């Protein structure tokens, strides 16, 4: 499938999705959100894909936010609709995908861009990356989950300060805050992130899907994370991958997982 604003490559079970609107610093207009939603859904179902990496084209920006030119004249109702649709069709979709989604943050990740990175399961940044939620400078608050996911990742006090001041933090500060897991030179970002993905795909896909579900349950209203963990742990015992993993260990060989 061809996308107006995305480039997608699939190699050795790793899909790399590049947001490709470099002249607008990869800002998320509606068409790009829709492209991303379709692509993530399809890659989620594609048996040739075990891990998805999301990055931005060019050397300057991951994503410089939602496309301001599209919502400048919105009403209260349209504003709420924009946030609701985006959260449901893309940000929540990514967070709850059964396959790992890693953000390779290659430059500015601002507003909706940082929110996109935060919806991914974890983040790697290039050393030139800058991150922030500057919505209050536009008279807005973050609308794609930023007020919820930023405190989960960096703590309430830091999130309050970042959102109220609209300040951008450096990649190194983001690492200190726990917002990104690694900082690497820009030229090495994709190789480094692919290296992490390669480690992940050696492991059992069903178990990874259940780990995502159990970890997310702690952050979901009405769900008990420990309960979800118990049920998910139990379900793993019914998989071929569990038999393969334990048998391979006892036979002192590497496991070959199929996801079944």
Which residues form the interface with ligand COA (CB under 6 A)?
A: 24-25, 27, 64-69, 108, 110-112, 134-135, 138
Inter-CA distances, 123 with 156, 164, 183, 216, 225, Å: 19, 23, 9, 16, 22
Give the number of other Cβ atoms within 10 Å of residue 243's Cβ: 13
DSSP H or E run through 210: helix 205-217
**Residue 13 or 24: which CB sits closer to ligand COA?**
24
Q: How far is the CB of 200 from ligand COA (least distance, A)?
A: 31
Q: How far is the CB of 125 from ligand COA (least distance, A)?
A: 15
Please list, in sequence order, all residues whose beta carbon lies within 8 angstroms of the beta carbon of residue 90, skipping any fewer than 6 positions away. 33, 36, 37, 40, 116, 119, 144
Q: How far is the CB of 21 from ligand COA (least distance, A)?
A: 8
Q: How far is the CB of 133 from ligand COA (least distance, A)?
A: 8
**Residue 64 or 179: which CB sits closer to ligand COA?**
64
**Residue 166 or 200: which CB sits closer to ligand COA?**
166
Q: How many CA atoms lie within 13 A of 14 on its CB side?
A: 20
Q: CA quadruple 92, 189, 183, 167: dihedral positive or negative?
A: negative
DSSP H or E run through 51: strand 51-56
Q: Which of 157, 180, 159, 158 is nearest to 170 (CA)?
A: 180
Please pick, among 11, 78, 85, 135, the residue that the annotation labels catalytic. Answer: 135
- 135 given a catalytic annotation: yes
**Residue 71 or 242: which CB sits closer to ligand COA?**
71
3-state SS, residue 145? coil
Check if the beta carbon of residue 83 is closer than 8 Å to that of residue 46: no
**Residue 24 or 38: which CB sits closer to ligand COA?**
24
Distance CA 141, CA 206 (A): 37
Please pick, among 115, 161, 244, 256, the residue that the annotation labels catalytic. Answer: 115
Q: How far is the CB of 6 from ligand COA (least distance, A)?
A: 17
Please give the positions annotated as active site. 115, 135
């Amino acid at each position: 499938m061809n996308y107006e604003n995305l480039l997608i490559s699939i190699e050795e079970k790793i899909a790399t999705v590049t947001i490709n609107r470099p002249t607008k610093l990869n800002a998320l207009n509606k068409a790009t959100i829709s492209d991303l939603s379709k692509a993530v859904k399809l890659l989620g179902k594609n048996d040739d894909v075990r891990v998805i990496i999301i990055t931005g084209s060019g050397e300057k920006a991951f994503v410089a936010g939602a496309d301001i030119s599209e919502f400048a004249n919105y009403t209260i109702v349209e504003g709420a609709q924009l946030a609701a649709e985006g959260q449901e069709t893309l940000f929540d979709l990514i967070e709850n995908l059964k396959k790992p989604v890693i953000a390779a943050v290659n430059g500015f990740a601002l507003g909706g861009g940082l929110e996109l990175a935060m919806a991914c399961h974890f983040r790697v940044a290039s050393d030139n990356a800058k991150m922030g939620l500057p919505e209050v400078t536009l008279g807005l608050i973050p609308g794609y989950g930023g007020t919820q996911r930023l405190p989960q990742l960096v703590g309430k006090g830091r999130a309050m300060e970042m959102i109220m001041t609209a300040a951008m933090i450096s990649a190194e500060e983001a690492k200190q805050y726990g917002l990104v897991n690694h900082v690497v030179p820009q030229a090495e970002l994709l190789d480094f992130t692919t290296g992490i993905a390669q480690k992940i795909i050696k492991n059992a896909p069903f178990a990874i899907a259940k780990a995502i579900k159990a970890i997310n349950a702690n952050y979901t209203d009405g769900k008990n994370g420990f309960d979800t963990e118990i049920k998910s742990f139990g379900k793993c015992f019914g998989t071929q991958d569990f038999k393969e993993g334990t048998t391979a260990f006892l036979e002192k060989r590497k496991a070959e997982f199929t996801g079944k």
